[in-house]
Amino acid sequence: MLNFILALLPIIFLIIVLSYFKMPGFKACPIALIIAALEALFIWKQPAKDVFTGFLEGVAMALWPICLVIIAAIFVYNLVVHTKYMEVIKQMLVSVSKDKRILALIIAWGFGGFMEGMAGFGTAVAIPAGILVAVGFEPLFAAIICLVANTTPVAFGSIGIPTVTAIKVTELDPIVTATSIVLQSGIMSILVPFFLVAMIGKQNGKSIGESFKGVFLTTLISGFSFFIPQYFTAGFIGPELPSIIGSVVCMGVTIGCAKIFIGDKQSDFDLLSEKSNESIDMNKGLVACSPFILVLLFLVLTSSLFPAIRGPLAVVKTAVPIYSGEGAKPYEFSWLVTPGVLIILAGILGGLIQKCSLGEIFGILGSSIKQMQKTIITIVAVISTAKIMGYSGMTQDIANFMVATTGNFYPLIAPLIGAIGTFVTGSSTSSSVLFSKLQYSTAQTLGMNPTWLVAANTVGSTAGKIVSPQSIAVATAAANIVGEESKILNGVVKYFIIFAAIYGLVVFFGANLLM
């Protein structure tokens, strides 16, 4: 019991100072790192050299590839905002329909999922919520609906970084882990569009039946058109692209369904303002989307689907021995096939297509790095903490206690642990860092499939995103309703409970099938 409490001390510290004292993550996480290092040295009796080299390996993993991908994703987003082509993309989205239900499916669900897959870090709430308010949605409601929509895509946000991080920490198979995550979250991927339409119906004083009148089939197809491409992308390409490809297909299919099944029919859900009459020609639309198209193209061409391209690039790597303790393996730096490098290259080319000078492009890259400085400090500290806790045996002691307490019912709470990680840190990636190794160790102790429980942590972390104070803060800022945080929390907490309960049951029954 004592070892369990002491091992949890860095995490308990983070929960207290982040949740109650509102200390910023870039300040709190380095302190948690110091606590973990001191405990590893003096309580778990790990040699100082092993503690230090475990810390260095955490720094290496945090910077390459994790922080590199985050900087690259934000760089591409900032670039498109700078060139004003984000406004063109917004205009393309809102020109489809006047029906609030369709707009919510396209903007909050489809486009929000795309922004999560491309950039993450609040963009998937801020941008869609801002668009919805601009076309006539009530600000508080726009914030709530975007928070609920920004759930299942989070597992593969920022070019799959939460899942990639979990895989890096546990050394699991990327394809199998990504596929397990899609399967566990599949029910909610199909249900979320129904939640959005039902929420709009309730706001308009309509019954459930009235809410889905004329859009039930479109809503159903919208969910499946996200889930099915996600599954095949995870199974054939890996964890980087499921949310991007799933949301692109979802947007296209949903727009097609809206034109076929609804067209210009009037409904009680039409916005009072007319939809945009200014059409965007195809060339302008392609230029607006060119950085995102290039990102998708580069990542697909260098994936395992094209071994003739990936093979020669993948051999350009360096193996560096960093950790000095038992079970040490050289840490590999892949220089050309790492997503961050490819995304930056795509951003540069996309910026040139959008008539941005190289000076401007590299200026935006530099400002993006500065913008993410505090995030980089946070991630470096969190990953280093997790490495020290794992190598010293602290994580295993936590797992042993939890197994002894919950036994074979542990899978029921596995997603909730991931959700707590996101609630506290505001980041699914940080949740993966904090708890993936714990889930792995617990699965081994229970004799369960480790991949399934590590996937459960990432899936659970997506539910925590709904009620995370950081996410709510982004939503209030985007909708210009700062000060209404408690109203938003009251509006979304029931959806968090639904997500956590369903994920717990899915993981529990799935774990028993896979034993």
pLDDT of 160 strictly over 60: yes
- 102 with 376: CB under 8 angstroms? no
Tokens 């995370």, residue? 468
Categorize the per-residue pLDDT at 323 as very low, low, confident or very high, splitting at 50, 70 and 90. very high
Rounded CA separation 226/251 (Å): 9
Mean pLDDT throughout 490-496?
Answer: 89
Which residues, listed in sequence order, are joined to residue 318 by a DSSP beta bridge?
333
Decide which of 126 and 251 is more confident: 251
Rounded CA separation 33/37 (Å): 6
Residue 468: the pLDDT is 79
> Residue 270 phi/psi, 5° resolution?
-70, 145
Residue 272: the pLDDT is 59
Residue 278: the pLDDT is 61
- 245 with 209: CB under 8 angstroms? no
Rounded CA separation 276/290 (Å): 23
Rounded CA separation 84/379 (Å): 31
Residue 300: the pLDDT is 86
What tens digit of pLDDT does each residue of 96-135 get? 888 899 999 999 999 999 989 887 767 778 778 878 887 7
Mean pLDDT throughout 166-191?
Answer: 94
pLDDT of 274 strictly over 80: no
Categorize the per-residue pLDDT at 485 as very low, low, confident or very high, splitting at 50, 70 and 90. confident
Domain residues of the chain, as ranges?
A: 1-83+279-390
DSSP 41-72: HHTS---HHHHHHHHHHHHHHIIIIIIHHHHH
Residue 32: the pLDDT is 92
Categorize the per-residue pLDDT at 398 as very low, low, confident or very high, splitting at 50, 70 and 90. confident
Say how far residue 513 (Cα) sits from the centre of its chain: 27
Which residues, listed in sequence order, are joined to residue 270 by a DSSP beta bridge?
99
Residues 6+ apart with CB under 8 A from 445: 399, 400, 403
Label the pairing between strands 331-334 and 317-320: antiparallel
Say how far residue 145 (Cα) sits from the centre of its chain: 17
Residue 273: the pLDDT is 54
Taken in order 302, 304, 305, 308, is the CA torsion positive or negative? positive
Residue 22: the pLDDT is 79
pLDDT of 277 strictly over 60: no
How distant, in Å, are the alpha carbons of 180, 299, 360 from that of 118?
A: 21, 12, 21
What tens digit of pLDDT does each residue of 48-82 get? 999 999 999 999 988 987 788 888 888 998 999 99
Rounded CA separation 396/90 (Å): 48
Helix (H) or strand (E) holding 333, with range, is strand 331-334
Task: At 480, list the tokens.
Answer: 């210009």
Supply the Cα-derived Rg of the chain in whole angstroms. Answer: 22
Question: String of b and e for 248-283 (b: at least 16 CB within 10 Å)?
Answer: bbbbebbbebbeeebeeeeeebbeeeeeeeeeeeee
Task: At 483, list the tokens.
Answer: 């000060």
Task: At 113, list the tokens.
Answer: 């999922």
Decide which of 346 and 11 is more confident: 346
Instruction: Kindly tell me the burial class for residue 393, based on how many C-beta atoms sit within 10 Å of its own C-beta (0-12, 13-18, 19 or more).
Output: middle
